[in-house]
C-alpha cells in the first residue's frame, strides 16, 4: 500500500484517466474528489461489502460528485 500526505487542493493521478483531489479536512473526516471516466464505476468499500452480504441494488454505478 502506498501512503501519501496531501494538503487541501493537492491531487493524486492514477494512470492516465483518474485524478483524486483532497477537497476538505474536517477533524477525522477527509473529503475526496474523484475525477474518472463516466464508464468507470466508483463506490465506497462499505457499500460493496454490504451488497456482497445481501441482495441489494448494484453498487458502483458511475456517478459524479457534487461541486
Residue 6 inside a domain? The answer is no
Whether 67 shows a pLDDT value over 50: the answer reads no
User: Three-state SS for 49?
Assistant: helix
| In-domain check, residue 5 | no
Q: What does the pLDDT average to over 49-64?
A: 65
Indicate if the pLDDT at residue 57 is higher than 50.
yes
- Indicate the average pLDDT of the chain: 85
**pLDDT tens per residue, range 12-41:** 999 999 999 999 999 999 999 999 999 998
Nearest C-alpha neighbor of 32 from the set 23, 42, 45, 44: 23
Q: Which residues contact 63 (CB under 8 A, 6 or more apart)?
A: 42
* 44 within some domain: yes
Asked if residue 29 belongs to a domain, the reply is yes
Q: Is residue 65 part of a domain?
A: no
Its domain, for residue 23, covers 11-53
6 contacts 13 by C-beta, under 8 angstroms = no
Residue 48 included in any domain: yes
Number of domains in the chain: 1
Residue 40 CA to residue 64 CA, distance in Å, equals: 11
Amino acid at each position: 500500500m502506498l501512503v501519501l500526505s496531501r494538503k487541501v487542493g493537492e491531487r493524486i493521478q492514477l494512470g492516465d484517466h483518474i485524478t483524486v483531489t483532497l477537497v476538505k479536512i474536517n477533524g477525522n473526516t477527509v473529503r475526496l474528489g474523484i475525477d474518472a471516466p463516466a464508464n468507470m464505476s466508483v463506490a465506497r468499500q462499505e457499500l460493496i461489502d454490504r451488497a456482497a452480504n445481501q441482495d441489494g441494488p448494484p453498487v458502483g454505478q458511475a456517478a459524479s460528485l457534487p461541486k
